[in-house]
Amino acid sequence: MSTRDLVLIALLAAITAVLGLFPALTLPLTGVPVTAQTLGVMLAGSLLGARRGGLALVVFLVLVALGLPLLAGGRGGAAVFAGVTAGFLFSWPVAAFAIGWMTEKSWSRYDLKHAILINVAGGILVVYAGGLAWMSAVAGIPLDKALFGSLPFIPGDALKVAAASAVAVTLKRYHQHPLGQTV
Q: Which of 25, 94, 147, 158 is the binder for another protein (CB under 8 A)?
A: 25
Task: Identify the bridge partners of residue 25 per DSSP, sorted by sequence position.
Answer: 34
3 counts as binding another protein under rule CB under 8 A: yes
Torsion of CA 134, 135, 138, 139, to 10 degrees: 170
60 counts as binding another protein under rule CB under 8 A: yes
What is the spatial distance between Cα 148 and Cα 141, in angstroms, rounded to a whole number?
11
CB of 130 to another protein, least distance (A): 17
Torsion of CA 86, 167, 120, 139, to 10 degrees: 10
171 counts as binding another protein under rule CB under 8 A: yes
Query: Quick check: 54 and 94 in contact, CB under 8 A?
Result: yes
115 counts as binding another protein under rule CB under 8 A: no
Per CB under 8 A, residues contacting another protein are 1-4, 6-11, 13-15, 17-18, 21-22, 24-25, 43, 47, 59-60, 62-63, 66-70, 73-85, 139-142, 145, 149, 163, 166-167, 170-171, 176, 178
